[in-house]
Amino acid sequence: MTPRNLIFLAGLGSAVLLLVAFGFQHLGGILPCAMCLWQRWPHAAAVALGALGAVLPQARIAAVGGILMLGNAGLAHYHTGVERNWWKGPQSCAAGAAQDLGNLSGSDLLDTTTGPAVILCDKVAWQMLGLSMASWNGLACLALATLWLAAARARDV
């Protein structure tokens, strides 16, 4: 497979993962926590890199894509550990929602029928075969990193 095709396939993989995440959110009603949202940004950057690399396949573009996906895999596996209570997660998982509460009035705070939902990072919203969405994302990121790094190592990039 040519480096151009590897780069395009890796970028397409990130696009599919983003579409799946948005599908779970908007069609399935599964709201993302803060760490879930953080994991979307490297995929968005990888989609842009994939588009750029499909036109101008360069080893540097592919290397950056590989580093992005390795970093995102690390973040996803960290999130998995938070979900499984292996370690504590960042305070922002609850603090991000609490910041939204600062804009509410006293009566809004006492109203239990409306208001923002607090999505905690240490709760598994969905799982398949015993793995959460964060775990699956981490595995997918490792596969995508393999594609990116294969493109970076190819001679005719």
Report residues of the chain scoring pLDDT below 50: 95-99, 101, 157
- Domain span at 146: 3-153
pLDDT at residue 31, rounded to an integer: 86
Half-sphere exposure of 9 (CA within 13 A, CB side): 16
pLDDT score recorded for residue 98:
46
Asked if residues 39 and 77 have their Cβ atoms less than 8 Å apart, the reply is no
Q: Does residue 100 sit in helix, strand or coil?
A: helix
Give dist(CA 22, CA 66) in Å, integer.
23
**Number of domains comprising the chain:** 1
In this structure, what token pair is assigned to residue 74?
């690390």
pLDDT of residue 122: 75
10 Å Cβ neighbour count for 70? 18
Q: According to the model, what pLDDT value does residue 155 have?
A: 65
The CATH number of the domain where 102 resides is what? 1.20.1550.10
pLDDT, residue 57, reads: 74
Tell me how far apart the alpha carbons of residues 18 and 43 are, in angstroms, rounded to a whole number.
7
Q: Which amino acid is at 130?
A: G
Within 10 Å of residue 55's Cβ, how many Cβ atoms?
Answer: 10
Check the CA dihedral 82-88-89-93 and report its sign.
positive
CB atoms within 10 A of CB 132: 20
Name beta bridge partners: 131.
128
User: What is the model's pLDDT at position 108?
Assistant: 60
Q: Provide the pLDDT for residue 109.
A: 55
pLDDT at 47: 96
Residue 128: per-residue pLDDT: 79
pTM of the model: 0.79
pLDDT of residue 103: 59
